[in-house]
Chains A and B, each alone.
Chain A
Amino acid sequence: MRVPISWLREYAELPAEATPREIARRLIAAGLEVETIDELGADLTGPLVVGRVLAVEELTEFKKPIRYCQVDIGNPEPQNIVCGATNFAEGDLVVVVLPGGVLPGGFEISARKTYGKVSEGMICSERELGMGEGHEGILVLPESSGVPGQDAIELLRLRDDVLDLAITPDRGYTASVRGVAREAATAFGVPFHDPAADVPPAETAESYPASIADPAACSRYVLREVRDLDPAAPSPIWMVRRLQKCGVRSISLAVDITNYLMLELGQPLHAWDRGKLSGPIVVRRAERGERMETLDHVVRDLDPEDVLITDESGPVNIAGVMGGLTTEIDEKSTDIVIEAAHFSPEAIGRTARRHKLHSDSSYRFERGIDHELQRQAAATAVRLLAELGGARIVLGETNLRAPVEAVTITIRADHPDRVAGMSYGRDTVVRRLRDVGCGVSGEDVLTVTPPSWRPDLRDPNDLAEEVIRLEGYENIPAHAPRSVAGRGLTPGQRLRRRVGRALAAAGHVEVLDYPFVSEGDWDSLQLPADDDRRHALRLANPLTGEEPLLRTTLLPGLFRALGRNVGRGFGDVALYEIGLVYRPKRTSSGEAVPPPPRLSVDRGPTAEELAAVEAALPDQPVRVGVVLAGDREPAGWWGTGRPANWADAIEAARVVADEAGVELQVKADRHAPWHPGRCAALLVGDVLVGHAGELHPRVIKAYDLPARTCAMELDLTRVESQAVDVVPAPDITTYPVATQDVALIVPETVPAADVEAALREGVARHGAGELLESIRLFDLYTGEQAGEGNKSLAYTMRFRAADRTLTVEETTGARDAAVAEASERVGAVLRGG
């Protein structure tokens, strides 16, 4: 909403010395969102005068038409002016800037020779005067709007300041000069003159016949009529200028008047050509299958919820949103019907959204307009049509009223005190509520009747806000926070932070990707047709049609982030992300779960209701993903680099597991999108928590990633559920360690993890499990000495007792038992043994 200060001052007796900045500041303090102040004509200086074109000489020797004009500017001698526009004629009233004048934009005017003539000034266009982006060509003033020599800056109100307000949904009444003027008057403590104060006397006769079929959709419906309007009558300059300053284009007198009153009063009005209406008007909901063409030349399929204005021919308006094409005012319209109504905010809001049709009218209706303004607005409209367009007002008024719910709010007089945390006192509270327009009665308990233009005032806190804002939010004291006994972060919250830090400390860089993916991602990831990760939620209104799904895995986003880094010259990268994935639930029979019930807001939900809502939400576990490409350690003056490999991906998972205090089991697996021979399933106990390894070459190709890119994805929610809460302290013994090295030859296909497990098992069976401090693979060898199809694994086993120095016999015995077990379980042969 754009509000010219000059218009504001008409209704609020603001001090003459109050600057636009000061007015804006006070309005902001009162809760109006003033976004900008437009200083129109601030850099404009005269002389700028009205002139009458006396004579036009067409100069034809130039490439474009040039006119040499004699213009009467009230001096004895006419002014000679060269002009390049042709949209004016002898006798027209124009605006002339004389030498010495400066037009907006710092455009200085001097007498100068051009096209072979001396031009003593310039005839101005709207754009040159900063009036608006209206039409090209010279501004021609309506006849009798001024006299030659008159100051045009004053006549056209070229200097003005315009406040641009963003209207919050609760303050629909400030979408009008009337509403803003009321706030400005209150803010300055000066009188306010309500432009709608004069209620027209009741008319006895009916005007155009109408009825309301759905009182829930329309509570007020007023029609007035005029006849014999001069369709050529121009809108007066002052009205055009005000519309322009508010960003509204002048169209015709009848339309301009409806727009002008909407801006002034906040009451949307509609004007029909009476001759195009047929039969009585009915306000009703649309019927199934009904269609109409709106003023914007779009044929719209109407919804049974849409509120319509209809006549015998069918729909003529989508009520409160937009008029229809068939009844539009045109350049021949002389008989006009004016509509002023109050429509249901919800109905208008739904219709505007449904048809994506947001008009100045729907904007105001959906925020709730004054429900006692219709008669004044319609009466003013017909009066202006009569005064400005020579129309004859038809006696009579159609005035339909459905009951409007009467709102009275009871509050304790100290309620605002209790909300704000300071003391205002009853008198201040009552005075401020009356400033707002409320009726107030009572002593310690107040009965408050909000004014008809404030449908947002419903609750005691709404009234408290009015008092507190008018008394100034800035005057609220600050109380030091109470000390409360919080329990700090939960173990899960601490774990997630630790995991992030540990991965970062291990050289991974965190990314935060969008969770939007596409079906194409499932194919790129080589997911089988029945893979559950293809079962994803779909957005009804995705930003791009290409990525309508919500991720069921973190990997596609990580791949894209990796690709961006590689594309920018960072090929050696390790990235990680911690975030949610979304896994839709299914019923036991595999169906989609039913949508959540719509719960009441008049009471707290029951446990059953809450459970039903939760059951409809997808599972949203926290995942950790890692992707690694290029060198894990770069080459340098120290030697060659080390490319990231599958083991780095598994190691990243171990970093996470360590933070959770759980031991990660690694098993060979085949799982998309990993390389089938280089993919590890990661388990904690028996619980599968994720996968890691090198990516499938086809996946690498599909995402255009560096060769041998590796990745890991872990379900942190599952890891968390296995996490160790309290770590038991280990026994630290200072008795000496005894080490035993064994080299075992096993078939190449035997996993190292199985060999190690067998060694441990052998030691345990020997009864020395307690003594085995650690077991570590220190060498892996494949080659001639291991034999074809075999590999040699060399382990160091460290033994230590808590209470004595171990004997050689003890540790040798344990070692032999370990080897025997490995021999039995995985066919291990002691190398060189």
Chain B
Amino acid sequence: MVVFPVDPIAVFGHWLELFEPMSAPNKSYDPVEVTSLHPDEVARVRADALAAIEAASSLDELKQVRLAHAGDRSPLALANREIGALPPHAKAEAGKRVGGARRDVSEALKRRQAELEDERDQRVLVEEAVDVTLPWDRAPRGARHPLTTIAERMTDVFVSMGFEIAEGPEVEAEWFNFDALNFPPAHPAREMQDTFFVESEESGLVLRTHTSPMQIRALLSRELPVYVVCAGKTFRTDELDATHSPVFHQMEGLVVDEGITMADLRGAIDAFVVGMFGEGLRTRFRPYFFPFTEPSGEVDMECFVCRGASAEPGGEPCRTCRSEGWIELGGCGMVNPRVLIACGVDPERYSGWAFGLGVERTLMFRHGVEDMHDMVEGDVRFTRAFGMEI
């Protein structure tokens, strides 16, 4: 700790003066006749004091100077005491003279004190300097997995639009994962989703192949209208390679309300793109097929890095969109009325949209992750790079 010494005289000197004895008033006294009050003498004493103050080269010296020239026994203090004995007519003039001198001395002291303290501080603080470039990695950094944080960010865009987050099991009944989503048994659409069967192919239990069973759960457990979003682990029998993983994550939003149209779907996706990637990016829809939506589509968004410039003739190549200008975002569509029926919802009255996308894929193109292994292996170097939010 740095200690700044306090000079007690500087603080208390003024008070001590009050208790000094004074000469009794003397009506016949002429200040000029009192040597100490003579203007020349006051000027001399003042000049001596100022010179001494200026000459003080340390706080200690200044302390001595203060005692000698501003202390109780200093010439000016003694002179001041004489004023009381003066006849009233002389008091004012002498008081003014001595007071002025004392004030000058006091101010000089204050100024010199400040100067010397500055000098002292500079010296002491320099002495106390440390090497602030020394590394201090004593508390190791933790981090959340970027798939967790980006999934939260994605869902939060929908939460900010008033959606609630739906959750469900990962070992799922086939009825939720397929049947209720209008995947008829033995339909090639089931084949598209390489399914992990739990216990046996006939058990009726699977590792959910997509987050879409949450659509069914949400419709069965919530009051209409339903505005939900969900994100979570999904499973397919793909070997781990640079772009595939048997365990991956999806996020999807679902709306079922009266009078919902594809225009609402488009608007919601545009809002999502703004929330995740910023303003001014175009989106485009292409027809596609999903059993649980009809009509179905796939959505592309304009590349948020090159904004399509890389696809123009002579454009700089873009890694993010592989110079396509567009990035495949996800799948979407209008909730198939057959799904509504399987959930006991009247398709004459209600319609809805669903929109889903891959979390890994989003992390890959948004952050330039090149290899699925990095997201799977739990290497602390990878995860720490992303910190707590994404």
Interchain CB contact under 8 A, B143 and A29: no
Q: Is the CB of B351 within 8 A of A419?
A: yes
Asked whether, in the complex, the Cβ of A568 is within 8 Å of the Cβ of B204, the reply is no
Contact pick for B197, options A460, A508, A541, A620, CB 8 Å: A541
Q: Is A197 an interface residue (CB 8 A)?
A: no
Closest to A539 in B: B196
Task: Tell me if B125 counts as interface (CB < 8 A to partner A).
Answer: no
Residues of A615-667 at the interface with B, using a CB-CB cut-off of 8 Å, are 616-618, 620, 632-634, 636-638
Q: In the complex the two chains form, is B137's CB within 8 Å of A29's CB? A: no
Contact with A along B127-148 (1 / 0, CB 8 A): 0000000111111111111011
Q: A465-B294, A500-B148, A633-B139 are in contact. Are A481 and B264 (CB under 8 A)?
A: yes
Could you tell me which residues of chain B, from 229 to 263, have a CB within 8 Å of some CB in chain A?
233, 237, 239, 246-247, 257, 259, 261-263
A171-B289, A473-B297, A543-B246 known; A617-B137 Cβ under 8 A: no
For residue A622, which residue of chain B has the nearest CB?
B167
Among the listed B134, B285, B388, which residue makes an inter-chain contact with A501, where contact means beta carbons less than 8 Å apart?
Answer: B388
A459 close to chain B: CB less than 8 A: yes
Contact A479 B267 (CB under 8 A): yes
B381 neighbours in A (Cβ, 8 Å): 570
Number of A-B contacts (CB under 8 A): 300
Q: Which residues of A contact B141 (CB under 8 A)?
A: 507
Q: State which of A70-78, A271-279, A574-582, A759-767 sits at the interface with chain B.
A: A574-582
Say whether A196 faces chain B, with CB atoms less than 8 Å apart: no
Q: How large is the interface on A (under 10, 10 to 19, 20 to 34, 35 or more residues)?
A: 35 or more
- The one of B161, B189, B270, B287 in contact with A478, judged by C-beta atoms closer than 8 angstroms, is B270
B341 on the interface (CB 8 Å rule)? yes
Q: Which residues of A are found within 8 Å of B172, using beta-carbon distances?
A: 617
Kindly state whether residue A610 has any CB partner on chain B within 8 Å: yes
Tell me whether A599 is interfacial, beta carbon within 8 Å.
Answer: yes
Interface residues of A in 27-79 (CB under 8 A from B): 28-31, 33
* Partner-binding segment picked from A129-137, A330-338, A484-492, A740-748: A484-492
| Chain A residue contacts of B288, Cβ below 8 A | 31, 33, 168
Minimum CB–CB distance for B308 against chain A, Å: 15
Interface residues of B in 50-101 (CB under 8 A from A): none
> Do B294 and A473 have beta carbons less than 8 Å apart?
no
Instruction: Assess whether A461 is in contact with B264, with CB atoms less than 8 Å apart.
Output: no
A604 touches B377 (CB 8 A): no
Chain B contact residue count (CB 8 A cutoff): 103
Q: Which residue of A lies closest to B189 (CB)?
A: A169
Min C-beta distance of A610 to chain B, whole Å: 7
Residues of B within 8 A of A570 (CB): 379-381
| Contact between chains at A419 and B334 (CB < 8 Å) | yes
For residues 547 through 584 of chain A, which have their beta carbon under 8 Å from a beta carbon of chain B?
550, 561, 564-565, 568, 570, 572-576, 578-580, 582
Shortest A548–chain B CB gap in Å is: 10
CB distance from B81 to the nearest CB of A (A): 48
Among A465, A508, A543, A638, chain B packs the most CB atoms within 10 A around the CB of A465
Complex alpha-carbon distance, A616 and B291, angstroms: 25
> Are the C-beta atoms of A604 and B165 separated by less than 8 Å?
no
Distance in angstroms from A349 CB to nearest chain B CB is 4
Interface residue from B142, B191, B199 paired with A508 (Cβ < 8 Å): B142
The A-contacting residues of B in range 128-185, CB under 8 angstroms, are 134-145, 147-148, 152, 159, 161-165, 167, 169-176, 179-180, 182, 184-185
Chain A positions 383-419 with a Cβ under 8 Å from a chain B Cβ? 418-419
Interchain CB contact under 8 A, A598 and B175 = yes
Which residues does chain B contribute within 8 Å of A602, judged by CB atoms? 341-342
Q: How far is the CB of B328 from chain A (nearest CB, A)?
A: 11
Given the known inter-chain contacts A168-B288, A582-B171, please indicate yes or no for A462 contacting B165, CB distance below 8 A: no
Q: Are A484 and B225 in contact (CB under 8 A)?
A: yes
Q: B356 interface residue, CB < 8 Å from A?
A: no
B271 interface hit (Cβ, 8 Å): yes
CB of B234, distance to nearest CB on chain A (Å): 12
Contact A540 B379 (CB under 8 A): no
Residue A514 at the chain B interface, CB threshold 8 Å: yes
- Expressed in whole angstroms, the Cα–Cα distance for A633 and B139 within the complex equals 6
- CB-based contact A504/B144 at 8 Å: yes
A366 vs B189: C-alpha distance in the bound complex, in angstroms? 10
Q: B67: shortest Cβ distance to chain A, in Å?
A: 41
Q: Are B263 and A565 in contact (CB under 8 A)?
A: no
Residue in A465, A474, A510, A600 whose beta carbon sits within 8 Å of that of B284 in the complex: A474
B313 CB to closest chain A CB (Å) equals 13
Out of B170, B204, B291, which one reaches A596, CB within 8 Å? B204
Q: Which residues of B lie under 8 Å from residue A168 when comparing CB positions?
A: 288-289
Known: A484-B162, A512-B145. 10 other contacts (CB 8 A): A169-B289, A346-B184, A419-B261, A459-B338, A484-B161, A501-B388, A507-B142, A515-B247, A596-B175, A604-B345
Q: What are 14 A-B pairs at a CB distance below 8 A?
A: A169-B291, A464-B294, A482-B257, A484-B163, A484-B225, A490-B164, A510-B142, A514-B246, A540-B199, A598-B175, A598-B179, A601-B180, A617-B205, A634-B138
